[in-house]
Amino acid sequence: MKFFVDTADVDAIRELNDLGLVDGVTTNPSLIAKSGRDILEVTKEICDMVDGPVSAEVVATEYEAMIEEGRKLAEIAPNIAIKVPLTLDGLRACKTFTSEGQMVNVTLCFSANQALLAAKAGATFISPFVGRLDDLNIDGLELIADIRQIYDNYGYETQILAASIRSANHMSDCAKIGADVATAPPAVIKGMANHVLTDKGLAAFLSDAEKAGIKIV
Ligand code: G3P
């Protein structure tokens, strides 16, 4: 499973990139606003740092305006994936962009039917939001499994990009189901390394090493 980082914080992306944990980046208008930076400037900086796809989202809601914004975003770098919302205008824009060879991430997916439409529109990525469904007591992981089954039934090449990931358990659950990609905040990705028995075991090893005077260099 590929790991995308769901942030516009360049320092956080750099830290994870140095660990080899960044296969791509996703942003959205809320994350850009949180960064306090100009969208074109911060997105360019991210694209220069990361080899994989960097999702940048349009803010227009009508087809023609989405096309204009998407083309502007695509000019930033070759690894831009234009992010459009799962609306009929968004699907139409997706079709246009993908037929031009541009990567497209269709976002705000909350149902299997929406994911089916995105695949038919040729989306490169579909972003089902796991955590926001869980917030409503609807099983977000079940949606990932349903989309996996539908896409596999027909050989759709659209990649399932599990989004709104809130915990390390979400990451391993998505990997078990077979999501192609999961995008998560930096803290969630770093948190995957944590285990209380790792901390306890390391403390014991270090204590024994000190008592025995073990020195390596
Ligand atoms: O990728 C979409 C993601 O940013 C949404 O996450 O936690 O705001 O639901 P969240």
Q: Please name the residue whose Cα sits nearest to atom 8 of ligand 1.
A: 164
pTM of the model: 0.96
Cβ of residue 131 lying under 6 Å from some atom of ligand 1 = yes
Q: Count H helices and E strands in the chain, helices first.
A: 11, 8
DSSP 101: T
Q: Which atom of ligand 1 is nearest to the CA of 131?
A: 9
Query: ∠6-196-170 over CA atoms, to 5°?
Result: 30
**pLDDT values of the chain reduced to their tens digit, one per residue, 217 residues:** 999 999 999 999 999 999 999 999 999 999 999 999 999 999 999 999 999 999 999 999 999 999 999 999 999 999 999 999 999 999 999 999 999 999 999 999 999 999 999 999 999 999 999 999 999 999 999 999 999 999 999 999 999 999 999 999 999 999 999 999 999 999 999 999 999 999 999 999 999 999 999 999 9
Q: Which domains does the chain have, with CATH numbers?
A: 2-192 (3.20.20.70)
